[in-house]
Amino acid sequence: MAFETMECSMLPTYFLSHGGGPWPWMKQEFGGAYDVLDASLRDIPRQAGGKPAAVLVVTAHWETPEFGLSAGAQPGMIYDYGGFPPHTYQIRYGAPGSPALAARAQALLREAGIAAGLDAERGFDHGTFSAMYPVFPEADVPIVQLSLKRGLDPLEHLEAGRALRPLRDEGVLIVGSGLSYHNLRAFNGAGAAASHQFDDWLRKAMALPPKERGIALMNWEHAPAARAAHPREEHLLPLMVALGAAEEEAAAVVYHEDAFMGALAVSSFRFG
- Residue 98: what pLDDT? 98
Query: For the chain, what's the residue count?
Result: 272
In terms of Cα–Cα distance, which of 138, 135, 61 is closest to 96?
138
pLDDT in tens, the chain (272 residues): 344 434 457 999 999 999 999 999 999 899 999 999 999 999 999 999 999 999 999 999 999 999 999 999 999 999 999 999 999 999 999 999 999 999 999 999 999 999 999 999 999 999 999 999 999 999 999 999 999 999 999 999 999 999 999 999 999 999 999 999 999 888 878 999 999 999 999 999 999 999 999 999 999 999 999 999 999 999 999 999 999 999 999 999 999 999 998 899 999 999 99
How does DSSP classify residue 250? -
Rg of the chain on CA atoms, in Å? 17
Domains of the chain: 13-271 (3.40.830.10)
In terms of Cα–Cα distance, which of 127, 124, 143 is closest to 51?
143
Is the separation of the CB atoms in 79 and 130 below 8 Å? no
Mutual angle of helices 237-244 and 154-164, in 10-degree steps? 40
pTM of the model: 0.96
What are the beta bridge partners of residue 121?
none
Is the separation of the CB atoms in 113 and 67 below 8 Å? no
Amino acid type, 109:
L
